[in-house]
Amino acid sequence: MQKRKLGNKLEVSALGLGCMGMSFSYGVVHDEQEMISLIRAAVDRGITFFDTAEVYGPYTNEVLVGKALAPVREKVVIATKFGFNITPDGKPGSHGLNSRPEHIKEACEGSLKRLQISVIDLYYQHRVDPEVPIEEVAGAVKDLIREGKVKHFGLSEAGVQTIRRAHAVLPVTALQSEYSLWWRKPEAEVLPTLEELGIGMVPYSPLGRGFLTGKMDENTELGSGDFRSTLPRFSPEARKANKAIVDLLGAIAKRKNATPAQIALAWLLAQKPWIVPIPGTTKLSRLEENIGAVAIELTADDLREIDAAASKIKVEGNRYPEHLEKMTGR
């Protein structure tokens, strides 16, 4: 497995593993032992970067990741996130934001226990809290780094001004935000800012929450517990319209003897050497398919062709409902 550096200092595998879907968001809670085996299979295949958050479950995903990685702790980089009040119902979007410094420190202690670790390798603010100046957030994480409880500071879905203000207090190692062939907004302002400041990019949903794999269409049934059923981009009409982007990936994949998912990931990897996607999966076959993307070389001509074709496709549907979209880009 190739390695990449986030923030010029945190070395991780070129592809990470997003663990959220193993216990949260997609309507199915998977067998714990099977998911532990899958995470360990990822380690065996060279993946060293694992992503979770306290709100996934809530809490259960951190417990799972902690159990899975305990025997190989020294080989891996574990990222988790803070920034929500956890409410008893555990429904997506029902938790209010809370990045007060005292809450961050409490959240850190909980995550350390659940993950069975003494230090969090990369600690992200999950969403920017408009009630708390980002300087105070960065200051709280700086204290945790000084205490040896955190190694690196990250932000998630933050806007350019927030990134700059945070970075001035405490160097930001990575920004985690959605980025893929069907969500390219970060290219306008965010990616140039990250390049200027030497901050890594960790794209979540690099396969469009499964849509870019080519395994979904307008007839795919999404269960009521599946988070995607609440997203405008996953309405049957939007999925039908957005098939054009999957067809584009399929055409390139055929030529490269690859799959649409592999082309989607290879495209992201080709954008910048400091981009590390974190596709999630619950299946060993998909894990291996995703890892195969690292070996795929897209030439400058390939990338120009993809860009030219993608620029003619209008992706339909907002990526989040309004109340969740308001939490991004602050």
What pLDDT does residue 98 have? 96
Residue 106 lies in a domain: yes
Q: How far is it, in rounded angstroms, from Cα 203 to Cα 122?
A: 15
Q: How far is it, in rounded angstroms, from Cα 313 to Cα 37?
A: 39
> Which domain CATH number covers 98?
3.20.20.100
17-18 vs 49-51, strand pairing mode? parallel
What pLDDT does residue 240 have? 92
Residue 233 lies in a domain: no
State the pTM of this model. Answer: 0.95
Residue 30 lies in a domain: yes
Residue 325 lies in a domain: no
What pLDDT does residue 94 have? 58
Longest dimension (CA), the chain: 54
SS3 11: strand
Residue 216 lies in a domain: no
Provide the number of structural domains found in the chain: 1
Question: In terms of residue numbers, what domain contains 71?
Answer: 3-208+271-296
Catalytic residues: 56
Alpha-carbon distances, residue 62 vs 22, 78, 303 (angstroms) = 11, 10, 37
Helix (H) or strand (E) holding 120: strand 120-125
Taking the chain (330 residues) in runs of 10, the rounded mean pLDDT of each run is 96 98 82 97 98 94 98 98 82 76 98 98 97 98 98 98 98 97 95 98 95 90 86 92 93 95 97 98 97 96 92 92 89
49-51 vs 150-156, strand pairing mode? unpaired
Residue 310 lies in a domain: no
Residue 94 lies in a domain: yes
SS3 177: strand
Residue 61 lies in a domain: yes
